[in-house]
Structure 1
Amino acid sequence: MKTYFADFHIHIGRTNSGRPVKITASPSLTLENILYEASQEKGIDIVGVIDCHVPEVLDTLSQLIKSGTCLELDEGGIRFLDTTLLLGSEIEIYDDTCSGPIHVLIFLPTLEAMKQFSDWLKPRMKNRTLSSQRIYESGIQLQQKVKELNGLFIPAHIFTPFKSLYGKGVKHSLKEVFDPTLIDAVELGLSSDTEMVKQIKELNSYTFLTNSDAHSLAKIGREYQKLCLKDASFKEVKLALSNQKGRYIKENYGLNPKLGKYYLSTCENCSQTININHFEKCSVCEHPRYVKGVRDRLTELEKDPSLTVERPPYIHQVPLEYIPGLGPKTLEKLKDHFKTEMDILHHVSLEAFDQVISPKISNYIIQARKGMLQVKEGGGGSYGKIKS
């Protein structure tokens, strides 16, 4: 077995012709740029690109395979240099059973399976050329279609206040919307970690994923996991998510939840932090509504304090762009000496850093690696910050 770094939630900003896919994402997030960035700059072994249902993206993938730039693997996935692409799609569900919209991630093993899925979406979606669009179908029917195509079904950023399973989608249980037996894993999102959610009873049987939800090249690998696999392929990842045949997730790497932009509850209007148990109106602007933070939402869900499920270690990994004083020029200097960001984050010693950058920044990186940096909490759509 070998270990592989994986980030399963990366958006496409624009197609090759310049058409928008994820409107809020950077135009530089083209398919080719994502593959190059992940392979050569980040050191990510497996990437899930979750807008592969878009017809122009499918055409681009076909051309890359035909030209020999990419190779479709027998066990699923598409290989570019040292990185494997998993063909994904992010879908919004808002059927009659939902209290609010829910985003889910779908992954399929082959280009042909994704083409079939895209065709199936066409009469059920108003605009399949865009990312994260609503499907006019029930959640369970979507699950069944994904399984028919031998795919993976993963609720996305499940605790964030908007467009997520527990944020708005259900009042108490995922059973209100989904068939629990057709879920392969759940994505925690940037404002939660294993320690916060490990006692939620109905999540007991699911693998936890930590992904970037990247809307720019810089954000790829903001959160990720290390998997033990025989090879980087769809089949191996599927085995790892169900902990079969010695394949498994070894470690989750994610932001300290306090850095997430929905950790605390805040006023809907001015983002002032509030206590939801004593809230009538904002003490600053007198607005009557608030955005419920992940920390407070978790208190409402059924827990089992006796749960002792063994989970992979969750390591609070601070992305390099969050390190105080580490700007683009310093990052380029580090990559010139130490190759990829994964190498910098995981392998380079303090002594080696000191030969290239200032001791102050070197110490910040080592402290970040050990989870020792102090954090100011985020909320209401604003990220937390590292205290320098």
Structure 2
Amino acid sequence: MDYVADLHLHSKYSRAVSKDMNLPTMAFWAEKKGLNILSTGDWTHPIWIREIKQNLEEAEKGLFKLKNENSKIRFLLSVEISGIYSQGGKVRRIHNLIFSPSIETCEKINASLVKRGCNLNSDGRPIIGLSAESLIELVLSIDDKAMIIPCHVWTPWFSLYGSNSGFDSIDECFGKFADKITAIETGLSSDPYMNWQIKELNNRSILSFSDAHSPAKMGRESTVFELEKLTFDNIKNAIMKPSLKSTTGSTSIKESSAHSPRGTRDTSDTPDTSRIKYTIEFYPEEGKYHFTGHRNCDYVQTPEQTRSQGTICPVCKRPLTVGVMHRVEDLAKDGFEKEVSKLNSNGVKWILDPSKKHPPFVKLVPLNEIIAESLSSTVSSQKVKDAYNNLCEELGNELNVLLKASVSDIAKNAAHSAGSGQGEKVAEGVEKVRKGEIVMVPGFDGQYGIVKIWKDIQNKEKPQDLASQLGIDF
């Protein structure tokens, strides 16, 4: 069975996060979006771990569901931790995800962090003074089933490979525990294709999750697991096994369906067949750090320009924020392989790894954004909300609309709330996104990029630092 997982989320106890990021609301939105497994997020926070214990019960080994409800949504115990410390004469700022197999393990890790002087009360994403190597040693000494996954690994300020405060390699960051790092998370400003160019990631899994701060942002990036039986161990097995050659069968880019966890309890446990089937991606150009630039001076440059002109702003003469694309090219010593893609029977463009070391991926635009542009409106308008809800209800969920539903069905159902002509426009928008026929202006220095479906982008305002949005993610 296929399970769509978003395993990097935040609760209402993290900074700049919507109060709607509570477990019941998250589960409600997961069904609307077509997600099966969510991160609890933030289990280091003392109030949130209490709410987790009050509201969730174990459904399958290491996975949880809402108590007293026939909910199909499962939760995995995941938290993001920010480490700020000095190493090699430089201040490092590294963010890591921890996947825990049990609440007991969470509580033991929390107690150990507090014992080392870490403040877990101020933020759901705590800031600690431990190095990445010390953190992984602490976690694995408590429970070797837990996982550490470096997250949004390219963001300049807070990541493994970050140009301003990161490292050049996993070995340099994690030291003697480097071999325990079996996966990384792409972040919004990079996609798997970019990460395939890094040699040390050839034998590691490339994961994608949303880092959402509000329910509507969940699932904008996610990872699809193919599992015989839904358990924490089988998800871990899939992550630890990135090569398609080590799994039975081959990855199909046909109409993949995500199933709920119902009916999986009596299935035999066959971890060897567990694998990552594909990932769903944000357009990396829309990420806040894709290109190099200086937001205050409204100056941006491509990687080619950065190589020839350097990293000093020509306007104010201060250092530019080096973008993700340039940083990837800098660490990809052998240069980039040519991108390989293929359309499936639904007209969806899939990006394939020519070496077959990693599964394929697809880049999508969120459905509410497609509808908003189609109707010349905003994602917060009532007519966009009505059209979105109608499509999700009538055609299954958001991912089903984006990946599988027929164009005619999309047009017909969108017309119910948007009008007949507008329904066809929405369907055309979905079709263009499936084929990758879009226009982009890359983001830079903390400013989101623009992704447009129709070619009127030159007439649009430049994007602002969308601080009013709650998706202040990396």
Q: Does the TM-score normalized on the shorter chain lie above 0.5?
A: yes
Choose the corresponding residue for 1:94, options 84, 87, 93: 84
CA offsets per residue over residues 335-388 of structure 1, 9 Å max, x none? 232232122222211010111221111111122123222222222222222222
Aligned pair partner of 2:197 in 188, 194, 199: 199
Query: Paired residue for 1:79?
Result: 65
**Structure-2 residue corresponding to 1:293:** 323
Q: Which residue of 1 aligns with 2:184?
A: 186
Does the aligned pair in 2 maintain the 1:95–1:139 contact within 8 Å? no
Q: Deviations over 1:98-145 (max 9, x none)?
A: 642000000101111111111122233123451222223232221122
The one-character-per-residue Cα deviations of 1:20-61 (angstroms, maximum 9, x if unpaired) are x211111221233212221x3212111123202212122112
Matches within 5 A, 1:322-361: 322-323=369-370, 324-325=373-374, 327-357=384-414, 358-361=423-426
Q: Give the C-alpha shift of residue 187 in structure 1.
A: 0.2
Q: Structure 2 length normalisation: TM-score?
A: 0.74
Q: Contact between 1:191 and 1:294, CA under 8 Å: does it hold in 2?
A: yes
Give, in angstroms, the shift of residue 6 of structure 1: 0.7
Residue 262 of structure 1 aligns to which amino acid in structure 2? Answer: Y
Find the aligned partners of 1:241 and 1:174 in 2 and give their Cα distance: 17
Indicate if the aligned counterparts of 1:43 and 1:340 stay in contact, CA closer than 8 A.
Answer: yes
CA RMSD of aligned residues (A): 2.1
Q: Is residue 265–residue 290 contact of structure 1 (8 Å, CA) maintained in 2?
A: yes
Give me the whole-angstrom Cα distance separating, in 1, the residues matched to 2:227 and 2:122. 33
Report SS of the residue matched to 1:101: strand
- The runs of 5 or more residues in structure 1 that have no matched partner are 14-20, 65-69
State the one-letter code of the partner of 1:73: A
CA contact (8 A) 1:92 1:133 kept: yes
Is the 1:322–1:386 contact (alpha carbons within 8 Å) kept by the matching residues of 2? no
Cross-structure match for 1:63? 54
* Matches of 2:446 and 2:279, distance apart in 1: 24
Verify the 8 A CA contact 1:7 1:223 in the aligned structure 2. yes
User: Which of 357, 360, 373 is residue 438 of structure 2 equivalent to?
Assistant: 373
Which secondary structure does the structure 2 equivalent of 1:166 belong to? coil
Kindly indicate whether the alpha-carbon contact (under 8 Å) linking 1:121 and 1:128 is maintained by their aligned counterparts in 2: no
Q: In the alignment, residue 126 of structure 1 is paired with which amino acid?
A: N
Would you say the 8 A contact 1:50–1:105 is kept in 2?
no
Aligned match of 1:132: 125
Instruction: Please give the alpha-carbon distance, in whole angstroms, between the structure 2 residues aligned to 1:377 and 1:138.
Output: 32
Match of 1:252 in 2: 279
**Which residue of structure 2 aligns with residue 67 of structure 1?**
none
The count of residues paired between Structure 1 and Structure 2 equals 373
Relative to 1, partners in 2 of residues 1:83 and 1:175: Cα closer, same or farther, differing over 3 Å? Answer: same
Assess, with a 3 A threshold, how the Cα gap between structure 1 residues 155 and 271 changes in structure 2: closer, same or farther. Answer: farther
SS in 1 for 2:362: strand
Letter in 2 for 1:350: V
Q: Structure 1 length as normaliser, TM-score?
A: 0.90
**Alignment match of 1:261 (pick from 288, 310, 314):** 288
TM-aligned CA deviation for residue 251 of structure 1: 0.7
Alignment match, 2:138: 145
Q: Is the 8 A contact 2:158 2:166 kept in 1?
A: no
Deviation digits for residues 168-218 of structure 1, max 9, x if unmatched?
Answer: 343422222202112131001111112222121112221000110101111
Aligned to 2:156: 161
Alpha-carbon shift at residue 321 of structure 1 (Å): 2.9
Do the aligned partners of residues 280 and 92 (structure 1) sit closer, same or farther apart at CA in structure 2, a change above 3 Å counting? closer
Change (3 A) 1:191 1:280: closer
Consecutive unaligned residues in structure 2, runs of 5 or more: 242-270, 338-353, 376-383, 415-422, 455-474
- The aligned residue for residue 2 of structure 2 is 3
Aligned identity (percent) is 29
- Residue 308 of structure 1, aligned match among 330, 333, 355: 355
